Amino acid sequence: MIRMPSVKNQSGTVMKDELGQHLDVLRRYALVLMRDPDQAEDLVQEALVKAIEGASSFTDGRDLRKWLLAIVHNTFVDRWRRQQAERQATGELSSMAEEGSPPAQLSHVHLGQTIAALMTLPVEQREALVLVALDGMSYRDAAECLGIPVGTLMSRLGRARDALRAKTGGGRQPASDQSDRTPSDRVQRPPLRVVK
Range of the domain at 45: 12-90
DSSP conformation letters of the chain: -------B-TT--B-HHHHHHTHHHHHHHHHHHHSSHHHHHHHHHHHHHHHHHTGGG--TTS-HHHHHHHHHHHHHHHHHHHTTTTT---SHHHHHHHHSPPPSSHHHHHHHHHHHHHHHS-HHHHHHHIIIIIS---HHHHHHHHTS-HHHHHHHHHHHHHHHHHHHT-SPPPHHHHTTS-TTTSPP-PPP----
152: in domain:
yes
**pTM flag (> 0.85):** no
179: in domain:
no
Q: What is the pLDDT of residues 158-193, one digit of tens each?
A: 999 898 888 887 655 444 444 444 444 445 555 656
Backbone angles phi, psi at 115, to 5 degrees: -65, -40
Q: Residue 81 is which amino acid? A: R
CATH number at residue 61: 1.10.1740.10
191: in domain:
no
Range in 1-10, 72-81, 152-161 with the lowest mean pLDDT: 1-10
84: in domain:
yes
193: in domain:
no
Residue 69 and residue 16 share a domain = yes
Q: What is the pLDDT of residues 46-68, one digit of tens each?
A: 999 998 888 888 877 788 899 99
176: in domain:
no
Mean pLDDT highest for which of 15-19, 89-93, 133-137, 174-178? 133-137
How many domains does one find in the chain? 2
In angstroms, the CA 157 to CA 124 distance is 9
162: in domain:
yes
For the chain, give the percent of residues with pLDDT over 90.
Answer: 24
Range in 37-41, 71-75, 97-101 with the lowest mean pLDDT: 97-101
Q: What is the pLDDT of residues 103-114, one digit of tens each?
A: 556 555 667 777
95: in domain:
no
